[in-house]
A and B are shown apart, each in its own frame.
Chain A
């Protein structure tokens, strides 16, 4: 049972345009979310996070939006650059009620390709 879902396995965007990566979750116990970026043959790199007390968090070109009622979050990258081409994972600590917050539950990832 996937508790964190990234339904788009891939996304192609023109350089300079906006990239929007989506993530849905089913567990209402999740109250903190992270986005990781992963290049081939490397480990995931922490990108940005958001707490459930906020609905938006911004860091440079990256903004994460959280819609708690819809159990949906999205990562916006604007403007997109070729170096942003990578796999992006949405993650939440705590797989289930009672689990430690250290247990990150990951989505399957979305592969972003930014076309020059």
Chain B
């Protein structure tokens, strides 16, 4: 039973480019969450999605960041016009409906902006 899968594991972008991070939840999980971890910090909530719906994006920066979880395929976190401050580890988590307080995390994507 595969866990949460994220790809790529490492992503290098130059300032101004776009970054696309993908997340496939645990089979049977319909809820996806994205978190960001800056160096020496804990994980910070960004966005909560269900299939085709953004439930809560209160932790997302207002500009350049967007997320989706289409009916088919993985969830995507998209960062446009990346800046150095976007360099971080981005973790996706998933849960079953009704069990949102116990989330299972993927291995993360480490984004480096040059």
A-contact 0/1 string along B55-89, CB 8 Å cutoff: 11011000000000000000000000000000000
Q: Please give, as numbers and ranges, the residues of chain B lying within 8 Å of A100 by CB-CB distance.
A: 48, 55-56, 100
One of A13-21, A72-80, A104-112 contacting the partner: A104-112
For A43, list chain B residues within 8 Å (CB). 4, 6, 91, 93, 105-108
Convert A31-46 into 0s and 1s, putting 1 for each residue whose CB lies closer than 8 angstroms to a CB of B. 0101010000111111
CA distance A18 to B4 in the complex (A): 32
A109 to B43, CA, bound (A): 9
- Check B56–A106 contact: CB distance below 8 A: no
Asked if A34 meets B102 with Cβ closer than 8 Å, knowing A4-B42, A103-B45, the reply is yes
Chain A residues with Cβ below 8 Å from B45 are: 95, 103-105
- Contact among A42, A93, A95 for B100, CB-based, below 8 A: A93
Q: Judging by beta carbons under 8 Å apart, are A101 and B101 in contact?
A: yes
With the chains together, A104 CA to B41 CA distance in Å?
14
- Out of A44, A46, A101, A103, which one reaches B91, CB within 8 Å? A44
Number of A-B residue pairs, CB cutoff 8 Å, is 72
How far apart are the CA atoms of A103 and B93 in the complex, in Å?
11
On chain B, the residues within 8 Å of A46 by CB distance are: 102-105
When C-beta atoms are compared, the residue in chain B nearest to A95 turns out to be B45
A25 at the binding interface (Cβ < 8 Å)? no
Encoded as 1 (CB less than 8 Å from any B CB) or 0, chain A from 70 to 106 comes to 0000000000000000000101010100011111111
Please measure, in the bound complex, the distance between the C-alpha atom of A80 and the C-alpha atom of B106, giving whole angstroms: 26
18 further contact pairs, Cβ within 8 A, besides A41-B108, A43-B106, A100-B100: A34-B102, A36-B105, A41-B107, A43-B91, A43-B93, A43-B105, A43-B107, A45-B105, A46-B103, A49-B102, A93-B101, A100-B48, A101-B101, A102-B101, A103-B48, A103-B56, A106-B42, A106-B44
Chain A contacts to B: CB under 8 angstroms: 4, 32, 34, 36, 41-46, 49, 89, 91, 93, 95, 99-109
